Structure 1
Amino acid sequence: MLLKIKALDPLFFRDGKPFTMGEDFWAEGFFPPFPSVFYGALRTAFFAENPSFLPNATTDKDPTLNLRIRSILLMNGETIYFPCPLDVVKDKEETEVQRAYPLQLSPAGRSSNYFLPQVLTVPEGREAETLSGALLERLTFIDYLSGSQEALPYRMISEFVTEEPKIGITLDRQYRRAEGHKLYRIGMKRLAPDRGSGLATKETSFLVDYEGLELPNKGFIRLGGEGKVAGYETIERKWLPQPAPFGEKRFKLYLLTPAVLANGWLPEWLNEKDLTGNYRGLSLRLLTAAIDKYVSVGGFNIKENSPKPMKRAVPAGSVYCFELLDGDPEQVQDIFHYRPMEENSYSREGFGTVLVGGVST
């Protein structure tokens, strides 16, 4: 089921950093939000429509137990965008255009202390710079998954979202008056471009793919901090890129959503020493990876009335390149494409969804 969610107000999504009013004055935001934000929002929307089921929430009879988030994407107008893969870079010398270039898989040097058998190298003749906050349009992303080495035009999230900082002060709960020394500022975001920039003209929305829950075709949900309102509607659209064929038993797994993994940056089915493992009948070896610094995933446990333990997650856009040592290559797509890299308690909330792509050398 696909939901198109359009914000009616500026939104704020907290990151994993602690924030105590009176001690801190600036609350950092995180965008795009984690899949768990929508997992909680859809559950809340269901109980708002079906209040008689509320006593069963967080019990074995909870009607939302089968809810599963598959993916979260951004849409600008009717164009779908994917987080830019971390195995592509921009050329420092190209200042007038926004083009990214895929890194190339090459053998690691014998004299290096790099512990993976392959490295990702910059295309010859280019001076590379990493990309942060970049997006690839759907058709461009399909070219990327196919293993194309051609330049990839990209856009920046900042082109579609406008920063609108908000200043507030904490109110005393009993007397509803301002408390001293508790002024704060939060980074609200309006899902529309800055009209004066000339970069984009259409509003941005979220595209949420989920299953296991019945909701009306249209409605409203509360989203993010301060319970801001967003409207949603069910849509039918073919958006999922098909897995690209790959040769020589090599392929890449691209993280569509952040992943909370058992072994930090590695899934539980990979041996940390030799980086080989077996997963659903496939024997695999990790060749190399392109990942960024971790993001902190938290949340609040309503049942326990306490914060959830903070977890480190591999960010969306990260890429893992594998070699198939044993098994049917045709099964790679069935086993991995649009499925979690690791099945755990976070994967049902939408964490760790991967897409299969081709590898070029």
Structure 2
Amino acid sequence: MSETQLYWYALEPMDVLLFRESKPFSPGEGSWAKGLFPPMPITIFQALRSALPYASDKARNLKFLGPFLLDERDTLWLPTPKDLLATGQSDPHADPDTTPEDNFEEKVRGDQYSRLQPAEGDPWKPIGWDDQKLPPLVPPSLKKGEYIKGRPHPWMRASALSAYLQGSLPQAGDFHEDPWDTQVLPHIDIKSDTRQVKDEAGYFTEVATRLRWGWRLAAAISARIPTTTVRLGGEGHRALVTPLEDWDPGIDWERFRQGTGRVAYLLTPGLAQPEADPRIYQAYPSQWQPYLAGCATDRALLWGGISAVRRQGSERLDFALLPQRAFIPAGTVYHFKGDPPPPRQLVGNPCAQLQTFASLNYGTLLWGIVK
């Protein structure tokens, strides 16, 4: 993804994985801590970095890309572009008292795919759409008997994404559902010599993730790491790190990153910048507004919360607040009217505090076309 050589690794969990969401969590006030999966890039980067020798571990020039998903055949899976729709053909002999949407499995699987398109004309004005804001993306015209099933599964083969960026539509076998299950982990602290739960901080619940058989995380870092184990996530759970030697990810990263086109696909979470007034996070840089024909995205991912730090010269851990940031989810797609101005990477305004986001390839954009 850059001039620096990146080496790819598979991370196979040896237990459940525990990545808490960013919301401040205290067992005495809120007893449920949700999970976040896949984790943010910084989490996997620090796990791989911990496997380096001490001298290398202090290097500040390491590059990183990921994490993504890897199946048992070493096929790479990336977030599905959010402008894709699954469509189907209604059965003329079906029961008239049911609708095609009644079959949930058929709805989410899909057998034909299309892309959302920029709205033409001014069809949204009657419903009060603000023509000074970003116009919506709309479904294409459907043929007789065709209907929209919904979004395809959230993961796409890397080779299929390569074809998508060149203007081709994917096939049904190019998608996969989330290959993991969640596991609820209750924690109970009982009063001494009683069968009663403590009044404060006595009970809380976490949500862990268990990857299905054969599935692993994949990531790249600009350092050689031998086969080893690293701590990954909370509660000291570990993962087996294995180099992916002579491995073909199925997509030419550099070609699409340095390329041009009217469509930009967000490969990794991008740092969202708030508007100046009011300070509300938005899914695209403000300088793109005149050039955008539409944007397909989901709600932002939040990162930050409460932590503890040890001040210099002190042995005591003090209360601290981590900076709260919003990240645009990977898979977001931008449609442009013409060639957009910079940035070419969504890491916010360049400054010293944001250099880490750039070096870890947050907000990486791959550029493509629509035929």
Picking from 326, 334, 359, the partner of 1:348 is 359
Corresponding residue for residue 82 of structure 1: 78
Give the C-alpha shift of residue 91 in structure 1.
3.5
Q: Which runs of 5+ in 2 are unaligned?
A: 1-6, 89-99, 192-196, 275-280, 312-317
Corresponding residue for residue 121 of structure 1: 139
SS at match of 2:47: helix
Picking from 202, 209, 230, the partner of 1:221 is 230
1:98–1:155: 8 Å Cα contact kept in structure 2? no
Picking from 253, 271, 276, the partner of 2:287 is 271
Q: Which runs of 5+ in 1 are unaligned?
A: 55-61, 173-177, 193-201, 277-284
Give the C-alpha shift of residue 150 in structure 1.
5.1
Distance 2:151 2:204 in 1: 31
Corresponding residue for residue 110 of structure 1: 122
Corresponding residue for residue 139 of structure 1: 159
Distance 2:112 2:42 in 1: 30
Distance 1:204 1:25, change over 3 A: same
Deviations 1:304-350 (A, max 9, x none): 763421111111110012244489xxxx9xx95xx656563423334
| Structure 2 length-normalised TM | 0.72
Distance 1:216 1:250, change over 3 A: closer
Distance 1:230 1:25, change over 3 A: same
Deviations 1:165-207 (A, max 9, x none): 21213599xxxxx854521221111112xxxxxxxxx421111
1:32-71 equivalences in 2 (<5 Å):
32-46=38-52, 49-50=53-54, 53=55, 63-71=58-66
Distance 1:205 1:354, change over 3 A: same
SS at match of 1:227: coil
Deviations 1:84-120 (A, max 9, x none): 1110123373743444623242443324225336734
Corresponding residue for residue 113 of structure 2: 101
Distance 1:216 1:170 in 2: 40
Larger Rg: 2
Corresponding residue for residue 286 of structure 1: 292
1:118-267 equivalences in 2 (<5 Å):
119-125=137-143, 126-128=146-148, 130-131=150-151, 134-149=154-169, 151-153=171-173, 154-157=175-178, 160-169=179-188, 179-181=198-200, 182-192=202-212, 202-211=213-222, 214-236=223-245, 237-239=247-249, 241-242=251-252, 243=255, 250-263=261-274, 264-267=281-284
More strand by share: 1
Structure 1 vs Structure 2 CA RMSD: 3.4
SS at match of 2:270: coil
Give the letter aligned to residue 63 of structure 1. Answer: K
Distance 2:241 2:46 in 1: 15
1:70–1:353: 8 Å Cα contact kept in structure 2? no
Distance 1:226 1:36, change over 3 A: same
**Residue 19 (str. 1) matches residue 32 (str. 2):** no
Distance 1:325 1:354, change over 3 A: closer
Distance 1:350 1:255 in 2: 11
Corresponding residue for residue 311 of structure 1: 325
% identity of equivalent residues: 23
Distance 2:224 2:256 in 1: 33
Distance 1:187 1:132 in 2: 25
Distance 1:326 1:79, change over 3 A: closer
Which deviates the most, 67-76 or 108-117? 108-117
Give the letter aligned to residue 336 of structure 2. Answer: F
Distance 1:321 1:303 in 2: 46
Distance 1:71 1:99 in 2: 29
SS at match of 1:67: coil
